[in-house]
Structure 1
Amino acid sequence: MRNDLLRRLGALVLAAVLICLSLPTAFAFQLEDPKIDATAALLVNPDTGMVLYEKNADERRYPASTTKIMTALLTLENANLDDVVTAEEVDFEHVSWDSSNADIKVGEQVKVIDLLYCLMLPSANEAAYMLARHVGGSSEAFADMMNAKAEALGCTGTHFTNPSGLHDENHYTTARDLYKIAYAAMQNETFAEIANTAQKTISKTNMHEERKVFTTNMLTFSSYQPWYYGYCKGIKTGHTSQAGNCLISYAEKSKSKLYSVVLGCANATDGTVAKSFTETKRLFEWGYENFTSKTLAKKGDNIAQIGVRLSTDADKLVLTAKRDLNASVPKGLELADMQKDIAAKDAVDAPIRAGDVLGTLTYSYDGVEYGTVELVALNDVEMSKVLYYADKLENFFKTPVFKFILVVLVIFLLLYIIFNMTVGRIRRRRQRSMMRSRRSRYNRNNK
């Protein structure tokens, strides 16, 4: 009895072990939710566009001074860095005494490059309005430019009314749109340099001696503080009472790149900083701890083979990746475990040139796509003219035009045969009639 019970227990334990071993590998990659304390958040690998984490990423939020990323981008695209802008009264109409500023005075003459540092580091609102007026003619016209640019970048939930981010109910965006704007801006080397600067000496003006401005981004400035994050490369903070604390950041670690967006974070408590900094650092750490960069496909590798028509050089063609496909994937996920989907024709017609795009390769796992790359021809394949014209002739035989011509020819042939048969019968009748007539005359003459 006892032995029987032990055998049953052993069988149950063995079955449980086998079940556990047979569970899908995806079980090992169920990532723990970082539970970012923000009203909206986003973490993206920019090399692949892979979203590693998102929370309310498409909901409308007030962006506060993260708006100034767009202001800087449009300035860099439409103004010379050495241009000098004179501050006017209109530039201060919407700037309260306690809002972010760089102590620029009415009548002060400041270079565009220095205004950009004032805009991005201390988040100077007067600098935003000066740049908007210089580029667009007025802040209202500049807002129209901002909205046009946002639309061009693929933003679908954004509307700007001013260049600074000061609160307006009609001034809003989304975490996903802010990522698109920030990514576009970071492709500009000057912007990337400004965004990653902790402090900058501003040139002497007609009203100020040289002076330093400091960043509001605590992730890049306070290296001795626990919230400092050494891999962070900027970008921009923002805060209003309606928007909460906002931060868009970019990080690089071992060539792995990440963009983070957090909106609507809580204010600082005693001895700390706003949660936009601590939550961003935590989000970056979560991303790097749980994901790793992996090369899924290499340029030049034999990815697939397809057939080739109209050539005597080859009947098969090797497809390779157009570029190296790198992606952020969960740590521990092996390439062999991933699903490899190739979208390409079974065969293509020559001529083919190396580099011609002929398909795509997508890697996925458990329903999540981790990267897609175009597949291109590895080498040239020349066309055979004989096979080409033979194929043309064969295809022509299959066309409606040929079928129509064939029907017409058949009808014509039938009509021709019928006509000839009819004419033949008529001739034979005439001949028989003539013969009868001759015989009749002959008989009459011989009587």
Structure 2
Amino acid sequence: MTQFIKKVSSFFLCLFLTAQAFPGTAMAAADWPDNISVQADGAILMDADTGTILWGQNIHNQYFPASITKVMTALLVIENCRLDDTVTFSHDAVFNVESGSSNAGINEGDQLSVKDCLYALLLKSANESANALAEHVAGSREAFADMMNARAKELGCTNTHFANPSGLNNPEHYTSPYDMALIARAAFNNPIFEEIDSTTYYKLPPNSINKEGLAIYPGHKMMRKGSPYYYPEIVGGKTGYTTLAGNTLITCAEKNGMKLITVILKGSTPQYWADTRNLLEFGFNNFTSLKAADYEKTYSSITNDLNFSGLSITKPEALVLDPDSRIILPKTADFYDAQPELSYDISDDDPENAIARINYRYQDRVVGSTFLEINDSLVESAVKSKLDDAPGTEATETSPEAVDASAGKDAAKLKADRAAQAYREKALRPFEIPLTVWLILGSVGVTIAIGGLIIFMIYRKHKEEQDSLVRREQRLKRLKESGVSADEFDSLLQQRRGIYTTRKKGWRKGRFKFR
């Protein structure tokens, strides 16, 4: 019986959670927009907040990236250096470049800050700056390329291999539209990178070649107001070109709370500007970015229905949704068209207080996620309450009473901190359903099971009666066809029953007599 109750309870719990997750009648979700084309061989449009691919063409094919490589170079430098570090330009850094390639007029022995080198790298696409920064971070360009490949793997790149920090031609230096979008997303989510890359004018300090310094501007024409390709929503980007790579371009733009990234590989000039504009317009016109916490209601009752780690709290919200997480959907879709999937797979990169992730899936793609997080205000309230209850006195600070009170406060704070830490450790475990809930569900399940059994017995009896009537009708039909009346049949039936009863009684008497 116990096992039966558990099974029934589990069944009704599943029904409860299913009802919570699907409050209304499901409607067919709107199709994912795809009414766009580009002339570049490889291209992608990605949402920067969620990493969702909005549109793509040959996104996993391998291409030469040219100077958009420097986006990865800049990201690694920012992650591993201080901006005020001094970089000394070696002979190899200055002269180990292709003749006629982009440079910022920096000579062997010149010294610049990391910050100045990054501006030269991203705005002027200076190859000597890429080499010098690589040597400053890793000791050599080759060692830096190893770091680039390791970082690319961390970001999820599977079709990328870097051989140098600048993007100059090398058969072992390649990437894909999808991989480059992952790198660009990480870069534009870094505030230092975004600040430098979004700059439209910068003046490098004087050096041995440029005694008055050098004014530099971004090569990305869509960022410059005087350009016919100007696009006001552009955040930043990076151009690239070699004879093998063709025109390559990374672009980030932001509008109406939505941040988009485009990558063009193996493009042509001036078409790659038009391709980029078309991708951005397609994204802004067909999609919308929503904060999940503003709409998510499926999991709102969990904190009210469950006893969270046994903590006695004055506020109902033991867990809160991450306020900044977003999902992206077609404008013709509704938030509730995206199906939530609860997961306890939390990584070190996720918010510290997160105990679960909610992934949202629209048709065949993940369109964003949010986190269920511990409400820090509960811990802070608990600590404050314990401190307020600590022994104290109004004695002067130098009196023995004040010293004792201070010691009491310190001890109380230590105790409160330990209690808060213990709470966090318990709270970071997946929450459990209280025994009371199980008992209620079990009793409900038993009641329903008994009611179902009674209904089944009534149904079975009714069916037997109906079957008996059907059989009688069939017999009467056969009797009529054979010329025997119903009365004659009943008389014969009574006679047979009498004979059967007499025989049965005699058999029983004989049986008992035998025994």
TM-score, structure 2 normalization: 0.60
SS of structure 2 residue aligned to 1:228: coil
- CA deviations 1:286-309 (Å, max 9, x no partner) are 110111223454388563545648
SS of structure 2 residue aligned to 1:362: strand
Q: Aligned equivalents of 1:261 and 1:283: distance in 2?
A: 10
Q: 2:82 aligns with which of 80, 84, 90?
A: 80
Other-structure match for 2:215? 212
Q: Aligned equivalents of 1:80 and 1:318: distance in 2?
A: 40
Q: Where do 1:37-436 residues align within 5 Å?
A: 37-208=39-210, 209-221=212-224, 223-266=225-268, 268=269, 274-298=270-294, 301=297, 303=299, 305=301, 308=306, 321-323=321-323, 325-335=325-335, 338-341=337-340, 343=342, 357=355, 360=358, 362-364=360-362, 366-375=363-372
What is the deviation of 1:55? 1.2
Other-structure match for 2:471? none
SS of structure 1 residue aligned to 2:360: strand
More strand by share: 1
AA aligned to 1:328 is I
Q: Aligned equivalents of 1:234 and 1:242: distance in 2?
A: 25
Change (3 A) 1:342 1:163: closer
SS of structure 2 residue aligned to 1:261: strand
Q: Aligned equivalents of 1:359 and 1:108: distance in 2?
A: 50
| Gap regions ≥5 residues in structure 2 | 1-26, 345-352, 379-422, 440-515
Q: Aligned equivalents of 1:96 and 1:312: distance in 2?
A: 66
Change (3 A) 1:376 1:38: same
> Does the CA contact (< 8 Å) of 2:235 and 2:252 recur in 1?
yes
What is the deviation of 1:358? 5.7
What is the deviation of 1:134? 1.6
Change (3 A) 1:374 1:249: same
Q: Aligned equivalents of 1:342 and 1:86: distance in 2?
A: 52
AA aligned to 1:330 is P
- CA deviations 1:148-205 (Å, max 9, x no partner) are 2212222212111111100101011111211222222223322111111122111122
AA aligned to 1:260 is T
- CA deviations 1:88-122 (Å, max 9, x no partner) are 32123432331111122223232222111111111
Q: Aligned equivalents of 1:113 and 1:147: distance in 2?
A: 23
Q: Aligned equivalents of 2:359 and 2:94: distance in 1?
A: 54
AA aligned to 2:109 is G
SS of structure 1 residue aligned to 2:265: strand
> Does the CA contact (< 8 Å) of 2:94 and 2:128 recur in 1?
yes
What is the deviation of 1:313? 9.0
> Does the CA contact (< 8 Å) of 2:354 and 2:371 recur in 1?
no
- CA deviations 1:396-445 (Å, max 9, x no partner) are xxxxxxxxxxxxxxxxxxxxxxxxxxxxxxxxxxxxxxxxxxxxxxxxxx
> Does the CA contact (< 8 Å) of 2:51 and 2:182 recur in 1?
no
> Does the CA contact (< 8 Å) of 1:199 and 1:213 recur in 2?
yes
Aligned residue pairs total 346
RMSD over aligned CA atoms reads: 3.6
- CA deviations 1:201-252 (Å, max 9, x no partner) are 111224422220121100102x143311110111211111111111111111
SS of structure 2 residue aligned to 1:328: strand
> Does the CA contact (< 8 Å) of 1:108 and 1:207 recur in 2?
no
- CA deviations 1:32-85 (Å, max 9, x no partner) are 431122121111112222211111111111111011112112222233323333
Q: Aligned equivalents of 2:323 and 2:292: distance in 1?
A: 11
SS of structure 2 residue aligned to 1:72: helix
> Does the CA contact (< 8 Å) of 2:45 and 2:262 recur in 1?
yes
SS of structure 1 residue aligned to 2:244: coil
> Does the CA contact (< 8 Å) of 1:204 and 1:211 recur in 2?
yes
Q: Aligned equivalents of 2:32 and 2:88: distance in 1?
A: 56
| Higher deviation after alignment, 94-103 or 236-245 | 94-103
AA aligned to 1:326 is R
Q: Aligned equivalents of 1:47 and 1:54: distance in 2?
A: 17
Q: Aligned equivalents of 1:358 and 1:74: distance in 2?
A: 30
Q: Aligned equivalents of 2:371 and 2:143: distance in 1?
A: 41
TM-score, structure 1 normalization: 0.68
> Does the CA contact (< 8 Å) of 2:326 and 2:369 recur in 1?
no
Q: Aligned equivalents of 2:223 and 2:49: distance in 1?
A: 23
What is the deviation of 1:342? 5.1
> Does the CA contact (< 8 Å) of 2:119 and 2:196 recur in 1?
yes
AA aligned to 1:372 is S
Change (3 A) 1:153 1:285: same
> Does the CA contact (< 8 Å) of 1:44 and 1:258 recur in 2?
yes
AA aligned to 1:155 is C
Q: Aligned equivalents of 1:344 and 1:43: distance in 2?
A: 27
> Does the CA contact (< 8 Å) of 1:305 and 1:319 recur in 2?
no
Change (3 A) 1:343 1:279: same
| Gap regions ≥5 residues in structure 1 | 1-23, 269-273, 346-354, 392-447
Q: Aligned equivalents of 1:294 and 1:151: distance in 2?
A: 29
> Does the CA contact (< 8 Å) of 1:304 and 1:318 recur in 2?
no
Q: Aligned equivalents of 2:205 and 2:257: distance in 1?
A: 34
